Amino acid sequence: MAHDGFTTSLWFDGQAEEAAHYYISVFKNSRLGRITRYTEAGPGTPGSVLTVEFEINGQRFVGVNGGPQFTFDPAVSFQMHCEDQREVDHYWSRLTEDGGEEGHCGWLKDKYGLSWQVIPDGLIDMIGDPDAEKAKRASEAVYTMKKLDIAAVRKAYDGA
The pTM assigned to this predicted structure is 0.90
Give 72-97 pLDDT, tens digit per residue.
999 999 999 999 999 999 999 999 99
Helix, strand or coil for residue 53?
Answer: strand
CA distance 157 to 44: 53
pLDDT at 147: 98
Phi-psi region of 97 (alpha: psi -120 to 50; beta: other; left: phi over 0): beta
Domain spanning 77-158: which superfamily? 2,3-Dihydroxybiphenyl 1,2-Dioxygenase, domain 1 (3.10.180.10)
Q: Is the Cα torsion angle 80, 98, 86, 126 positive or negative in sign? A: negative
CA distance 24 to 57: 10
Query: For residue 102, what pLDDT band results from cuts at 50, 70 and 90?
Result: very high
Which positions ≥6 away from 59 have C-beta within 8 Å? 8
Give 126-148 pLDDT, tens digit per residue.
999 999 999 999 999 999 999 99
pLDDT at 46: 94
pLDDT at 77: 96
Long-range contact list for 49-54, CB < 8 A, 24+ apart?
49/16, 49/17, 51/16, 52/16, 52/17, 52/20, 53/1, 53/7, 53/20, 54/20, 54/23, 54/24, 54/30
Name the class of domain 7-65: alpha beta
Segments making up each domain of the chain, as ranges:
7-65, 77-158
Query: For residue 103, what pLDDT band results from cuts at 50, 70 and 90?
Result: very high
pLDDT at 2: 54
Residue 23 belongs to what H/E stretch? Answer: helix 16-26
pLDDT at 42: 82
pLDDT reading at 63 higher than 80: yes
Query: For residue 3, what pLDDT band results from cuts at 50, 70 and 90?
Result: low
